[in-house]
Structure formats: C-alpha cells, structure tokens
Amino acid sequence: MMKLSEAIRLGAMMAPQVKGVAISDEGTCAMGGAIQAAGLTLLPNNPSAPPTRELSSGQSSVSVRFPAEWGMSVQHICPECHGKRVLARLIPHINDDHGWTREQIADWVATIEPQQAPQESEMGAELPEQQTAVIT
Ligand SMILES: [Zn+2]
C-alpha cells in the first residue's frame, strides 16, 4: 500500500482539485483523489449492495475502509487554524476550508507520517485493523 502522502500526490495528478465533495465531474478533493489513487474499496450506503471501487460523481459523503498504516483515526492539529481533528476529517478540512493545494497537503502529511505508527498502536485496542470512516 502506498503512503497517504503519495496517494494524495497521485490523486492530484489524476484530476483537478474540487472542494466540498469527494469527487465530482470537475475533479476530486485531496481525500477523494487519494482514495481513487490508492484504489480503496468504498462501502455503499445500502449495506446489501456490493462494495465498489467506483466513486459516484457528486457523492459528498462516502464510507471508506482506510489502510491502518494511514492512521486516519489519529487526531492531529490543523497546521492552519490549530483545531484538532482525526486525520480523515482534517484532510478534507484543509482542502475545503483553507484552500491548500494537494501538493501542500501532501507535503504536510509527509511531516506527520513518521509519527503515526506509535500513536496508532496506542489506540489499537479500540480499533479494528482497518477502520471505516465517513468523509464529507
Ligand atoms: Zn484548520
């Protein structure tokens, strides 16, 4: 599995950046692009429907099974406004609310990546190996 920062950079090359939605006809947000680049499985809202790797255009909220090594449930401080959020919400927040480019977001993610492993193992008792998070 590629690193999160690499997935964000790759996603930036695949489609233009949009805000407020994971993916639209115009492009992808930092998170949506990373999900597409890494080929993550999306969990449909209807539990009886089969999982899909295709993001529906205009979908503002998707459930995704993130790789544990991405540390998406670990809390981080926003580098811009210093608010605390789990990474799965912090990345869309920086994308939408602070207007960073995905290259800037990837650079920032790369600075926090080395610290993720110990933090994640501390939380390991509560977390399944692969976390499911809803991103908006
Ligand atoms: Zn912020």
Q: How far is the CA of 102 from the centre of ligand 1 (A)?
A: 15
Whole domain around residue 50: which residue ranges? 4-116
Please give the distance, rounded to the nearest whole angstrom, from the Cα atom of residue 124 to the centre of ligand 1: 26
Q: How far does the centroid of ligand 1 lie from the alpha carbon of residue 118, in Å?
A: 24
Residues near 107 by beta carbon (within 8 Å), at least 6 away in sequence: 5
Sorting pLDDT into bands at 50, 70 and 90, what band is 120?
very low
Asked whether residue 55 is domain-assigned, the answer is: yes
Give the torsion sign (CA, 38, 25, 108, 83): negative
Ligand 1 centroid to residue 79 C-alpha, Å? 7
Residue 132 placed within a domain: no
Within-domain flag for 133: no
Q: Measuring CA to CA, how many Å separate 32 from each of 64, 79, 96?
A: 10, 20, 12
pLDDT beyond 50 at 111:
yes
Condensed to tens digits (0 to 9), the pLDDT of residues 27-72 reads: 999 999 999 899 987 766 655 655 555 555 555 556 788 999 999 9
- Ligand 1 center from residue 87 Cα (angstroms): 12
Distance 95 CA to ligand 1 centre (A): 9
- Cα 22 to Cα 15: distance, rounded to the nearest angstrom: 12
- What is the domain count for the chain? 1
Q: Ligand 1 mean position to 83 CA, how many Å? A: 6
Rounded to two decimals, the pTM is: 0.74
Residue 48, domain member (yes or no): yes
Cα 126 to middle of ligand 1, angstroms: 26
Residue 122 lies in a domain: no
Within-domain flag for 18:
yes
**CA 55, 58, 62, 67 torsion: positive or negative?**
positive
Higher-confidence residue of 43 and 125: namely 43
Report the pLDDT averaged over residues 77-91. Answer: 96
Q: What is the pLDDT of residue 70?
A: 94
Task: Find the 1 Cα to ligand 1 centroid distance in Å.
Answer: 28
Q: What is the pLDDT of residue 47?
A: 58
Checking 117-126 for CB contacts under 8 A at 24+ apart, the result is 117/69, 117/71, 119/71, 119/74, 120/68, 120/69, 120/71, 120/73, 120/74, 123/73, 123/74
Q: Among residues of the chain, what percentage have pLDDT more than 70?
A: 68
Residue 113 Cα to chain centre, angstroms: 13
